[in-house]
């Protein structure tokens, strides 16, 4: 599997990281290098082996569906780069 520049650009887009066009060839090379390393996994016979979902054999605990805290609007917004009138503010979303 070889990653070309257009695939690298697509991955950057999916990851929401801006990559300038002139940086794409180097990025594609890095991906290919790492994926080449990962390709070794194809040597392993995984027929009939379950993919691991939890490393310890425990079920995730359930909890009661009830409100345990709240009324912390100020704290929730305290670290926002742009908070206005009790909301997170972002650039215009609607086209």
The residues that bridge with 84 in the sheet, in sequence order, are 87
Q: Can you tell me the distance from the alpha carbon of 77 to that of 71, in angstroms, rounded to the nearest whole number?
A: 12
Rounded least distance, CB 94 to another protein, Å: 9
Rounded least distance, CB 23 to another protein, Å: 10
* Residue with Cβ nearer another protein (21 or 50): 50
Q: Note the residues at the interface with another protein (CB under 8 A).
A: 3, 8, 11-12, 14-19, 27, 30-31, 33-35, 37-44, 46, 49-56, 58, 60-61, 63, 72, 75-76, 78-82, 88, 90-93
Q: Can you tell me the distance from the alpha carbon of 74 to that of 82, in angstroms, rounded to the nearest whole number?
A: 13
Cβ contact 6:21 at 8 Å: no
Cβ contact 48:28 at 8 Å: no
Rounded least distance, CB 62 to another protein, Å: 9
């Amino acid at each position: 599997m070889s990653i070309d520049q257009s695939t690298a650009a697509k991955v950057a887009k999916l990851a929401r990281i801006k990559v300038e066009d002139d940086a794409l060839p180097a990025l594609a090379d890095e991906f290919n290098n790492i994926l080449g390393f990962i390709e070794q996994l194809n040597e392993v016979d995984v027929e009939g082996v379950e993919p691991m979902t939890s490393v310890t054999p425990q079920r995730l605990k359930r909890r009661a569906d009830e409100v345990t805290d709240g009324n912390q609007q100020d704290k929730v917004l305290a670290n926002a780069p742009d908070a206005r009138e009790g909301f997170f503010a972002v650039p215009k979303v609607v086209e």
